[in-house]
Amino acid sequence: MKPEIVRGDSADASETSAVENEQLLSSEKGAREATASEASDHIRAKDEMLPEKGGRGVSRKSMVWDFKARGEPFLWGLGGALTIGIMMIVGFVVLIVYNGLLTFYPKPIERVVLKSGAILAGETTRSEVFRPGPETLKNLSPQDRKLVEDLNGYATRNLYRTGNFDLYNDDFRWVSDYDVAEIHRPRDLIFLERMEWGPFIGTIKSADFNGKIVDKESLKWDELKLQHRQAEKRRKRVKEIERDQLGAINHLLERDRLKLRKVEIKHGKQSAEYLRTLEDLKGKEDELQSRHEELSREAAILKELDAKYTVTMADVGGREVNLRISDMVRFYPANDLSFVEKLGIYLSRWWEFLTDEPREANTEGGVMPAIFGTFCMTVLMSLAVAPFGVMAALYLREYARQGRLVSLVRICVNNLAGVPSIVYGVFGLGFFAYVLGGSIDQLFFPERLPNPTFGTGGLLWASLTLALLTVPVVIVATEEALAAVPQSMREASLACGASKWQTIKNIVLPRAMPGIMTGLILAMARGAGEVAPLMLIGVVKMAPELPIDQFFPYIHLERSFMHLGFHIYDVGFQSRNSEAAKPMVFVTTLLLIFLVFLMNAASITLRNRLKRKFFTGHF
């Protein structure tokens, strides 16, 4: 039976509504009072647990649990790890930049008189605190021994770059403070950089300008500089004759000999073709030999004239050395230079370092061959690794049926990224040089055998070896970039009638290109700094001539080359004097970092442009 709904007049309805509102307000008020009562009880309970309120104290376990629950330990750990990593990177870069930039700045020369009466002169390289041994302390005077004891048994010593290796058989010498009688900086001391034997530190005694003897008092600095510029021209002309012009003639003679040898292998030594070729090459050989003798005479005349311009130098001990002016690279009064003159010497050293070839077992001179070799190898490696890495990733992601075989291939690619680089060097030497290069020599250069052409290490094989080393990085990065392209874009393209390849070419690849460029950047950075594979597959200690000449094919990728990374290793660990090589190590490291930075910056700029081109907003 349904209840009846009684409808009263408007007054009754208003009275009923007022009663309901009053009941609702009273219930809300009661709820607030109950909530306030519970909150006060909770606060009272917490106060009772505090020690100063006479309670038992807060449970340590709950505080630790709340601290962990909020994540503060992990936040501090991650922030600390990031800070430590940044500090390590910044510290390394600052160390390299500081030592690299100050290497070429000219330093003053100190003349040091020892208490034993010996005299030396040199640049102050560095200072250190050390503890003298018992035998050393026993031989000291009472005053010097007391001075050392006042410093808790420690003393200070300075390392001087004395140069004059042809006289001292050493470039550096340690001098302790307690051995020094006096130190001063004479204005007439000269720092002279030579083509051989390293720098010479001393004074000019006299000069001989083709029979004209000029003593120290009469010698003018401008006149010596003028003679030095003329001597430099003679030296460069002799170098041009011996290396370029005579080298070209020798190349032509060798080419004709190989041509005749090829005819002999193909037709036999008694054949008409061989006799005809021999007769044709005879006239050319006589002409080349005549030109060779003419250039050799010119070089000999220049050398004979060059030997008549000399300078006599004396060290601080009075021992004299006679030097040809053409053997002098740079000279200056180290203690009598203005800031502008120091800056000019500093910039000239940098220019020599960037544009000239090395000398003195790579510890002086320039690194232009190493710069060229590093750049060419990195570019060739990138050109080789980009297509193969991208094509492999495209097949694995877009075409291959996903299954156990594809998963196995991905596992193998990831494992290849962890193989030591020296293993790739052994593989490159065995496969590229001995197998592939040996086959090329047998097919195309049989007349050169047993001397290999492509069957040994070279720029081409080194680039391909590093391409194998870095291709796993490109494959993984490309796959990740392709997977990041939404599947809906592929489906939309296919729905509009595009083929599979048209979809990949016009839709997928352009939007995945920033990620692909990231993989290439990582590959370039790793390949440019690798050294171990190159030691087996083409890099050498000294290759002053660039793999470029005037003869076809102009760029000779089969030749050995120099590399900045190997140059650092050779100078730092294979040099006869580690102290003399240390400045070159810092400068070459700075240059290698700068070169890798430039190549990466160019790639990053291209990647960012691609990102802006295909950027899609989110709504």
Separation between Cα atoms, residue 172 and residue 190, nearest integer Å: 17
pTM (predicted TM-score): 0.81
**How many whole angstroms separate alpha carbon 323 and alpha carbon 194?**
9
| 548 assigned to some structural domain | yes
Residue with more model confidence, 533 or 150:
533
For residue 447, what are its two tokens?
A: 């007349």
Q: Tell me, yes or no, whether 154 lies in a domain.
A: no
Better pLDDT: 600 or 27: 600
Higher pLDDT, 85 or 14: 85
**Neighbouring residues of 559: CB distance < 8 A, sequence distance ≥ 6:** 458, 459, 543, 547
Lowest mean pLDDT among 31-45, 344-358, 370-384, 432-446: 31-45
Q: Is the pLDDT of residue 140 over 90?
A: no
Determine, yes or no, domain membership for 404.
Answer: yes
Q: Which amino acid is at 478?
A: T
Which residue type sits at 214?
Answer: V
Question: What's the pLDDT score for residue 40?
Answer: 54
Please name the residues in contact with 48: beta carbons below 8 A apart, sequence gap of 6 or more.
54, 55
Q: What is the pLDDT of residues 194-209, one digit of tens each?
A: 998 889 999 999 999 9
Task: Report the run of H or E that residue 495 belongs to, with start and end.
Answer: helix 487-495
Average pLDDT estimate for 73-88: 88
Residue 23 has pLDDT above 60, yes or no: no
How far apart, in whole angstroms, are the C-alpha atoms of residue 544 and residue 535? Answer: 17
Q: How many domains does the chain have?
A: 1
Q: Within a domain: residue 600?
A: yes
Closest CA to 177 of 160, 154, 156, 162: 156
Angle at 123 between CA 118 and CA 126, to 5 degrees: 100
Structure token digits, residue 110: 């100190």
Top pLDDT among 27 and 493 is at: 493
Structural domain span for residue 410: 368-613
pLDDT per residue as tens digits for the range 231-276:
999 999 999 999 899 999 999 999 999 999 999 998 888 888 888 8
H or E, element range at 433: none
186-205 CB burial, b ≥16 within 10 A, e <16: eeebbbbbbbebbbbbbbbb
Sign of CA dihedral 430, 432, 433, 435: positive
What are the distances in angstroms from CA 26 to CA 19, 38, 486?
A: 11, 18, 59
- Average pLDDT score over the chain: 85
Task: Please indicate, yes or no, if residue 119 is contained in any of the structural domains.
Answer: no
Q: Where residue 588 falls among pLDDT bands split at 50, 70, 90?
A: very high
Q: What is the pLDDT of residue 7?
A: 42
- The answer as to whether 311 is a domain residue is no
pLDDT score, position 58: 47
pLDDT tens, position by position, 26-54: 555 555 555 555 555 554 544 554 444 44
> pLDDT category, 147, cuts 50, 70, 90?
confident
C-alpha to C-alpha distance for 255 and 275, rounded to whole angstroms? 17
The token pair at 572 is 């730092």
CA distances to 274, 396, 406, 408, 415 from 402, rounded to whole Å, are 62, 8, 6, 10, 19
pLDDT of residue 313: 94
Report the share of the chain in percent with pLDDT over 70. 88
What pLDDT score does 30 carry? Answer: 54
Question: Based on the number of CB atoms within 10 Å of its own CB, is 442 exposed (0-12), middle (13-18) or buried (19 or more)?
Answer: exposed
Quick check: 361 pLDDT over 90?
no
Higher pLDDT, 44 or 435: 435
In the chain, the percentage of residues whose pLDDT exceeds 90 is 50
* Res. 612 pLDDT band, cuts 50 70 90: confident
Q: Is the pLDDT of residue 174 over 80?
A: yes
Is pLDDT above 50 for 14? no
Residue 585 lies in a domain: yes
Q: Confirm whether 545 is domain-assigned.
A: yes
Which pLDDT score, from 0 to 100, does residue 614 have? Answer: 66
Q: What is the CATH number of the domain that holds 526?
A: 1.10.3720.10
